[in-house]
Amino acid sequence: MTITRRSFIKSTAIAGAAGAVGFPHIWIKDSGLAWAAGNEIKVGVLFSLTGTTAVVEKSLHNATLMAIDEINKAGGINGMKITPVVEDPASDPATFADKANKLVLNDRCVSVFGSYTSASRKAVLPVFEKRKNLYWYPTLYEGRECSKDVMYTGAVPNQQQKDFIPWLVKNHGKKFYLIGSNYIYPKEENNVCKILLQQLGGEVVGEEYVPLGHSEFGSVLNKFRETKPDVIFSTVVGDSVIALHKQYKAAGFTPDKMPMASLTTSEVEIAAMGGEYAAGHYTSAPYFMSHQSPENQKFVENYQKRYGKDAVTHFVSEPAYFQIYLFRQAVEKLGKGDITPINIRDAAGGLEIMAPQGRVKVDPDNLHCYLWPKIAQAQADGQFKVIEQSAEWVKPEPYWAYPGQSCTKDGLKGA
Same domain, 254 and 176: yes
Distances (CA, A) of 125 to 94, 103, 118, 119: 12, 13, 10, 10
Report pLDDT for 16: 38
Question: Would you say 285 and 377 are in contact if contact means Cβ atoms under 8 Å apart?
Answer: no
In whole angstroms, what separates CA 78 from the centre of its chain? 27
Torsion 377-144-185-139 (CA) sign: positive
209 and 285 share a domain?
yes
| Residue 219 pLDDT grade (very low, low, confident, very high; cuts 50, 70, 90) | very high
- Flag the least confident range among 35-49, 170-184, 197-211, 260-274: 35-49
Model pLDDT for residues 72-112, shown as the tens digit of each residue: 999 999 999 999 999 999 999 999 999 999 999 999 999 99
Q: Residue 173 sits in which domain range?
A: 158-290+376-403
pLDDT at residue number 34: 52
**120 and 86 co-located in one domain:** yes
- In sequence order, what are the beta bridge partners of 377? 282, 385
Residue 38 has pLDDT above 80, yes or no: no
Look over the chain and give the mean of its residue pLDDT values, rounded to a whole number.
91
More confident residue, 403 or 45: 45
Amino acid making up residue 130: K
As a whole number of angstroms, the distance between CA 81 and CA 229 comes to: 53
Shared-domain flag, residues 229 and 261: yes
Q: How many domains does the chain have?
A: 3
Domain match, 380 and 260 both? yes
Q: Is residue 410 part of a domain?
A: no
Side chain identity at 161, as an amino acid letter?
A: Q
| Mean per-residue pLDDT, 226-235 | 98
Conformation bin of residue 354: beta by default, left when phi > 0, alpha when psi is -120 to 50: beta
28 with 15: CB under 8 angstroms? yes
pLDDT of amino acid 338: 87
- Checking if the pLDDT of 64 tops 70, the result is yes
Note the pLDDT of residue 337. 74
Return the percentage of the chain with pLDDT > 90, whole number: 88
With vertex at residue 102, the alpha carbon angle to CA 62 and CA 368, rounded to the nearest 5 degrees, is 55
Q: How many CB atoms lie within 10 A of CB 281?
A: 21
Using pLDDT thresholds of 50, 70 and 90, give the confidence band for residue 192.
very high
What are the residues facing 45 on neighbouring strands?
86, 113
List the CATH number of the domain containing 45: 3.40.50.2300
Shared domain for 192 and 115, answered yes or no, is no
Task: Return phi, psi of residue 125, to 5°.
Answer: -55, -45
Give the residue with greater pLDDT, 21 vs 60.
60
Residues 294, 297, 301, CA angle at the centre, nearest 5°?
Answer: 145
Which residues fall within 8 angstroms of residue 346, CB to CB, at 6 or more apart? none
Q: Which pLDDT score is estimated for 154?
A: 98
Is residue 2 over pLDDT 90?
no
Whether residue 266 is found in the same domain as residue 393:
yes
pLDDT digits (tens, 9 = 90+) for 277-296: 999 999 999 999 999 999 99
Q: Which residues contact 209 (CB under 8 A, 6 or more apart)?
A: 179, 180, 181, 182, 186, 187
pLDDT of residue 75: 96
Is 23 within the bounds of a domain? yes
Q: What per-residue confidence (pLDDT) applies to 33?
A: 42
The verdict on residue 390 lying in a domain is: yes
Does residue 408 belong to any structural domain of this protein? no
Whether residues 268 and 123 fall in one domain = no
Q: Quick one: 54 and 147 in the same domain?
A: yes
Same domain, residue pair 144 and 225: no
In this predicted structure, the answer to whether residue 5 has a pLDDT above a threshold of 70 is no
Tens of pLDDT, residues 201-217? 999 999 999 999 999 99
**How large is the C-alpha radius of gyration of the chain?**
22
How crowded is the C-beta side of 220, counted as CA atoms within 13 Å?
24
> Is residue 125 domain-shared with residue 201, that is, in the same domain?
no
